Structure 1
Amino acid sequence: MSTQEKTNQSTKKLTTHELTLTALMAAVLCILGPISLVIPVSPVPISLGSLAVYLAVTVLGARLGTLSCVIYLLLGLAGLPVFAGYTGGAQKLLGPTGGYLIGYIFLAAIAGVFIGRDAGAKGKQYALALLGMILGTAVLYFFGTAWLAHTAGMGFYAALGAGVIPFIPGDLAKMIAADLLGTTLRNRLLQAGLLRGRKA
């Protein structure tokens, strides 16, 4: 095996620090995810789960951020009460709001592509991370809305009005908070050598 191949192989392996950080962010998802508020205009509750996803992907990037979301969903699928309202199980993922939960994976994968893109301009780094979260959330909205419409017997636009429109202001606030806090944490982890990648 050549030196280049060995280097490529080693970079694909997760370090102990990265595994620990991934597990920690999955734990944050499990803590924040169940915290929710039911609103009368929608079958979809306001949840802090999306805030945890924004934070996880901003801190960890695409690969580890997405992995933390997958771990969270698997724990919920196993029956642990980590979904909104302290619920869990396959019936939650297959229910009307399940599309938004599965959408966390798309959100993390898409937003993560933009994390650490420009190491030379700190302001641009924040802007790119925010752009990534907006695009990832748009895909989550689409997937979740389509699933809500299918399972609840609603028209797509009716599902959009119930499952997306009321949540846009709050989600934008979560993105900004996660961008500011997450990028700061990421840079410090990179400086400490606990993560691999580029910093702002």
Structure 2
Amino acid sequence: MESNMKIRQMAIIGVITAVICILGPLSIPIGVVPITFTNLAIYFALYTLGMRKGTLSYIVYMLIGLAGLPVFSGFSGGLPKLVGPTGGYIIGFIFMALIGGCFIDKFWDKWYLSLVGMVIGTAICYLFGTVWLAYQAHMSLGAAFSVGVIPFIMGDMIKILIAALVGPQIRKGLMKANLFRVSF
């Protein structure tokens, strides 16, 4: 019975990773940093899997991209993407998942507290991305913030609000179907 549960967990992680791989490459180029749906996919992964497994699904996605499969924004992949101007955001997503996932696991039924966690996680992701963008593009932190954060705040807040409102419904459905466990 225990091995069946592990197989089920691995399969669900695989499915969620596939969803991130599908949404991750979809992007709207608006400059050095494109608009992507990766963060929205991660938020839903956290509601579906919880912090640990949701973060793991993102890390698997990241490793798939690093192996060269075109799952990153603009259907790109490989090490050059990680060490390029947007690599800090790719790393920052790990911390976004850990922080947002911690809040979602504790407060999944209180959308406003989950929202706070996702905002804090997104801010940390912005920090990693801005510092790396400034370094890679040889620009000031202010300039990197202007091109790598300011244009994305409104869209990311909308994605966070969508996740905070829809995510609890997803988790309730999974719990009702006995597909989500706190120890999951």
Q: Give TM class, smaller chain.
A: over 0.9
Out of 24, 28, 41, which is 2:15 matched to? 24
Would you say the 8 A contact 2:89–2:125 is kept in 1? Answer: yes
The two structures, once aligned, show a CA RMSD in angstroms of: 1.6
TM-score normalised by L of structure 1: 0.85
Q: Residue 145 of structure 1: SS of its match in structure 2?
A: helix
- The percent of aligned pairs where both chains have the same amino acid is 49
Whichever of the two has the greater Rg, that structure is: 1
- Distance in 2 (CA, whole Å) between partners of 1:24 and 1:128 is 27
Deviation at 1:128, TM superposition (A): 1.6
Out of 106, 112, 129, which is 2:95 matched to? 106
Would you say the 8 A contact 2:51–2:105 is kept in 1? Answer: no
Q: How many pairs align?
A: 180
**Partner of 1:155 in structure 2?**
140
Deviation at 1:116, TM superposition (A): 3.3
- Distance in 2 (CA, whole Å) between partners of 1:118 and 1:104 is 20
Deviation at 1:16, TM superposition (A): 2.8
Out of 61, 74, 78, which is 2:63 matched to? 74
Q: Residue 174 of structure 2: SS of its match in structure 1?
A: helix
Would you say the 8 A contact 1:18–1:195 is kept in 2? Answer: no
Please list the CA deviations of residues 29-84 of structure 1 after superposition, one character each: whole Å capped at 9, or x if unmatched.
Answer: 10000001111xx3100111111111111222210110011000000000000000
Corresponding letter in the other structure for 1:16: I
Q: Which residues of structure 1 form unaligned runs of 5+?
A: 1-9
From the superposition, tell whether residues 196 and 36 of structure 1 become closer, same or farther in structure 2 (CA, over 3 Å). Answer: same
**Partner of 1:7 in structure 2?**
none
Out of 13, 29, 38, which is 1:38 matched to? 29
**Partner of 1:133 in structure 2?**
118
- The 5-angstrom pairing of residues 52-91 of structure 1 reads 52-91=41-80
- Distance in 1 (CA, whole Å) between partners of 2:83 and 2:173 is 39
Deviation at 1:118, TM superposition (A): 4.2
- Distance in 2 (CA, whole Å) between partners of 1:194 and 1:181 is 17
Q: Does 1:184 align with 2:169?
A: yes
Q: Which residues of structure 2 form unaligned runs of 5+?
A: none
- Distance in 2 (CA, whole Å) between partners of 1:162 and 1:18 is 39
Corresponding letter in the other structure for 1:108: A
Deviation at 1:176, TM superposition (A): 1.1
Would you say the 8 A contact 1:190–1:197 is kept in 2? Answer: no
From the superposition, tell whether residues 59 and 35 of structure 1 become closer, same or farther in structure 2 (CA, over 3 Å). Answer: same
From the superposition, tell whether residues 53 and 118 of structure 1 become closer, same or farther in structure 2 (CA, over 3 Å). Answer: closer
